[in-house]
Amino acid sequence: MKHNFKHLNIWKLSIELADEIYVITDSFPKNEEFGLKSQIRRCSVSVASNIAEGSSRSSNKDFNRFLEISLGSLYELQTQIIISGNRDYLENSKIEIIENKITELQRMISGFQKNLTL
């Protein structure tokens, strides 16, 4: 069963998260342009992209596989945010806000998965 990704709250929140990630990584040092900054941005974009791509699949089982990839990207993103904090690229207050959004999105995606009829 296909889903319209633009109507999914998990997709909307993942877009908001990616936008916020782009803003906070603007202040990263120049030497991280092709390192952590780039990886964090790709990771955040991957979450929304996999939700959208999975929504086009003909079965919920396939969609669920893409949701799993999105969850993996969120855990990767969370790790990279922690590393950014350890390197003093981000303030603790920003880390806390982003981590809370990541955790909320992880919870929402997991809940959405439970409601998919596989």
Residue 94 has pLDDT above 70, yes or no: yes
Contacts of 71 (CB under 8 A, 6+ apart): 106, 109, 110
Mean pLDDT of the chain: 95
Nearest in space to 100 (alpha carbons), one of 66, 74, 64, 70: 74
Model confidence at 3, pLDDT cuts 50, 70, 90, reads confident
29-49 residue pLDDT tens: 999 999 999 999 999 999 999
pLDDT score at 2: 77
The residue ranking higher by pLDDT, 2 or 57, is 57
pTM of the model: 0.93
Nearest in space to 51 (alpha carbons), one of 26, 80, 15: 15
Residue 1 has pLDDT above 70, yes or no: no
